[in-house]
Amino acid sequence: MSLDQNKIPQATAKRLPLYYRFLNNLQMQGKTRVSSKELSEAVKVDSATIRRDFSYFGALGKKGYGYNVEYLLGFFRKTLDQDELTEVALIGVGNLGTAFLNYNFTKNNNTKIMLAFDADPEKVGKEIGGVPIYHIDDMEEKLGNVKVAILTIPAQEADRITERLVVKGIKGILNFTPARITVPDDVRVHHIDLAIELQALVYFLKHYPLEKIDNEEENTY
Amino acid sequence: MSLDQNKIPQATAKRLPLYYRFLNNLQMQGKTRVSSKELSEAVKVDSATIRRDFSYFGALGKKGYGYNVEYLLGFFRKTLDQDELTEVALIGVGNLGTAFLNYNFTKNNNTKIMLAFDADPEKVGKEIGGVPIYHIDDMEEKLGNVKVAILTIPAQEADRITERLVVKGIKGILNFTPARITVPDDVRVHHIDLAIELQALVYFLKHYPLEKIDNEEENTY
């Protein structure tokens, strides 16, 4: 079945990596099928949305059977371009940056941190997780053709560094600083604010308490 | 104007902390009003949704003026219970955990990491960012009345530790491990998978390239 990428709505596309990762875990556990209800509980998207999303992928769940895990994984792998590597630069080798370098992303993904930058002379010239650390002053020279950067620098540096990245031609930034950064229209930023994530969890706990259901059903996240 | 918390739809409630943080930044920059278009670009929620959300807050934007920043902030502060502190425990003082302890969350928020746990004897008994680190074996004894935990442990530890947290009575978990964890229905988990965040950014970059708009409009994230 051939499928035109552009026909997947953007909201659906946004959930693809989430579906992919969850189904990958299922397959590793030896599961061959999954219901939209199970998926719904695991990825926290309602069942109706999942069924609509999956219909775009050419996957039709069968009643009492669910979806074929292997078919879906094959589709997602193709769609997410698992085989085509995207090189990523990490800016700022503090604790959060170091966590990223140790974690790296090669195990399941099509992304790899190729190089890192920091201003600390103690760090420059070293490697963490096999990734070389260069001086932040050499950023433009070393970045080469890299188009994606992870920002793990102090908030007060965010604007200045972002400006340099944009001038150099970076097109995607994963911003982990608490600062909101300003970019031209053709640069994509995903902002992950750790404080807001925690605050949202606490807000939900207070105002939308969950209830224990009798049949001891459990949720996987 | 009095407002029944329960009348805010859950999808709207989920965006509250995001709105709050952005408006707080605006006020720090001395701005007194904001349009739904500006808000939309900054928080990446479409204008129509923002207008609907804000109508639940009793905030009606005026054409050509926008929303009053101070009114909204006052409302959000009350709603997010900024004044009531929620105590949080951090489990796992590796690089990511250390980043959280140094960052902590007291500056703008109603959450504070009160204590941390790790198995490394080098770390136990020390403090980072003023937060004491205890041995993971003493977790049940030290947790006291804390109901929220941040998980920054290795993936292979996630299930075992989660089980202990649930037995002890933890009701909210911010899961930063790549592992999906299983909890009873009355425990809320927010899962932040750093690999998926990066993968989603890369996927968007490839399939939904942004275009430079003529009038050099810029976006703030």
Tell me the pLDDT tens digit for each residue of A5-54.
446 777 787 788 778 878 877 776 678 889 888 888 777 788 888 888 88
- In chain A, residues with a C-beta closer than 8 Å to the C-beta of B92 are none
Tell me the pLDDT tens digit for each residue of B133-160.
999 999 999 999 999 999 999 989 999 9
Question: B-contacting residues of A 4-63, CB under 8 Å?
Answer: 5-6, 10, 13-14, 16-18, 20-22, 25, 42
Phi, psi of B17 (to 5 degrees): -60, -35
Identify the CATH class of B86-197: alpha beta
Whether residue B202 and residue A111 make contact (CB cut-off 8 A), yes or no, is: yes
Facing A203 at nearest CB: one of B13, B175, B216: B13
Whether residue B211 and residue A80 make contact (CB cut-off 8 A), yes or no, is: no
- In angstroms, rounded to a whole number, what is the distance separating the alpha carbons of residues B56 and A60? 38
- In angstroms, rounded to a whole number, what is the distance separating the alpha carbons of residues B169 and B145? 8
Domain ranges of chain B: 5-79, 86-197
The answer, yes or no, to whether ipTM is higher than 0.85 is: no
Residue B219: what residue type? N
Q: For residue B169, what pLDDT is reported?
A: 95
CATH number of this structure's domain B5-79, picked from the four choices 1.10.10.10, 3.40.50.1110, 3.40.50.720, 3.30.450.20: 1.10.10.10
Tell me the pLDDT tens digit for each residue of B188-211.
888 887 877 787 788 778 776 676
Tell me the pLDDT tens digit for each residue of B4-43.
444 677 778 778 877 887 887 777 667 888 988 888 877 7
- The 3 state secondary structure assigned to A125-187 is CCEECCEEEEEHHHHHHHHCCCCEEEECCCHHHHHHHHHHHHHHCCCEEEECCCCCCEEECCC
Annotated binding site of B for NAD(+): 92-97
Residue labelled with tokens 């900024």: B82
The model carries a pTM of 0.73
B171 and chain A: CB distance < 8 Å anywhere?
yes
Residue A49: what residue type? T
- In angstroms, rounded to a whole number, what is the distance separating the alpha carbons of residues B219 and A189? 9
- In angstroms, rounded to a whole number, what is the distance separating the alpha carbons of residues A165 and A146? 10
Cβ contacts of B208 within 8 Å, gap of 6 or more = A10, A13
Higher pLDDT, B91 or A36: B91
